[in-house]
């Protein structure tokens, strides 16, 4: 039972880290490469900006995925960067 809970928790954390990294990469691409202000994207842009800057803070937002991957590596022996490859 415990191993099932541990496996589900590691799967959840790996998916969260992966989606966080993809979303952050997309936001940085839109902001810096395309030079589009996030507030011009309407409500979704404001929500993403609030999540990454106000809720998490800039430094934590950038380092959250690598930290989660490091924790997963230390606890399970695999970083699980690609969560569908368990």
pLDDT of residue 69: 94
- The verdict on residue 81 lying in a domain is no
Query: How far apart, in whole angstroms, are the C-alpha atoms of residue 63 and residue 20?
Result: 10
What digits encode the pLDDT tens for the residues 18-73? 999 998 898 888 878 888 777 777 887 778 777 777 777 878 888 989 999 999 99
For residue 36, the 8-state DSSP code is -
Provide the residue range defining the domain that includes 9: 2-76
Element at 48 (helix H, strand E): helix 43-49
- The verdict on residue 83 lying in a domain is no
pLDDT of residue 26: 86
- The verdict on residue 37 lying in a domain is yes
Encoding tokens for residue 35? 């030079």
- The verdict on residue 25 lying in a domain is yes
Cβ neighbours of 82 (radius 10 Å): 9
Q: Please state the pTM of the whole predicted model.
A: 0.81
Domain count across the chain: 1
pLDDT of residue 52: 79
- The verdict on residue 51 lying in a domain is yes
- The verdict on residue 49 lying in a domain is yes
């Amino acid at each position: 039972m415990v191993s099932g809970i541990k496996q589900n928790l590691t799967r959840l954390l790996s998916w969260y880290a992966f989606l966080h990294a993809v979303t952050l990469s997309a936001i940085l691409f839109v902001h810096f490469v395309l030079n589009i202000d996030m507030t011009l994207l309407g409500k979704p842009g404001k929500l993403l900006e609030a999540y990454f800057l106000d809720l998490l803070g800039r430094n934590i937002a950038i380092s959250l995925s690598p930290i989660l991957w490091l924790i997963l590596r230390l606890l399970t022996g695999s970083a699980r960067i690609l969560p569908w490859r368990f």
